[in-house]
Structure formats: C-alpha cells, structure tokens
C-alpha cells in the first residue's frame, strides 16, 4: 500500500512545472493526473513515475486500466 504521506507530495512529472500536477489514486493501483490524464502504474506498492509509462496509458479510460498494472518494460 502506498503511504498517504507519499500520495500527498507526488505530482505528475510533466505538469508540475506549469500546473498543479495533482494525482488521484485510482483502484489502489494507478495515479492519474487531473491536468493531462497521464496514468502512472503502482507496481508492488511503488509508483512508477516515468513519463514514458504515463504516456503509454494516457488514451486508456480509467475504467479500462488493468488491475494489477503490468510491470513496466
């Protein structure tokens, strides 16, 4: 489980410079940026905050995100 303290400080690496980059914790497996819609997987309780990972899932609807997320690669 991702600690609530960590969730409070994490921001989207793309949006944090121009916007809030606020992330919503979805399905206890994904961090979704409220500004750009990029989706970052949480794999084995570790948020994968790589821009390339967020880009892979930006077109996927929140309801279609796999749980658990696949490992990055």
Q: Average pLDDT in the 44-71 region?
A: 95
Q: What is the model's pLDDT at position 55?
A: 96
Q: What is the model's pLDDT at position 71?
A: 87
Output the pTM of the full model.
0.92
* Alpha-carbon separation of residue 71 from 6, 20, 22, 30 (angstroms): 20, 27, 23, 12
Q: Average pLDDT in the 32-39 region?
A: 96
Q: Give the C-alpha separation, 64 to 62, whole Å.
A: 5
Q: What is the model's pLDDT at position 72?
A: 83
Q: What is the model's pLDDT at position 1?
A: 80
Domains belonging to the chain, first-starting first, are: 4-63 (2.20.25)
């Amino acid at each position: 489980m991702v600690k609530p303290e960590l969730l409070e400080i994490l921001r989207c690496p793309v949006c944090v410079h121009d916007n809030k980059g606020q992330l919503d914790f979805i399905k206890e497996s994904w961090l979704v940026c409220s500004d750009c819609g990029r989706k970052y997987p949480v794999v084995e309780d570790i948020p994968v905050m790589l821009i390339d990972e967020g880009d892979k899932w930006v077109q996927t609807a929140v309801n279609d995100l796999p749980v658990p997320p696949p490992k990055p690669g």
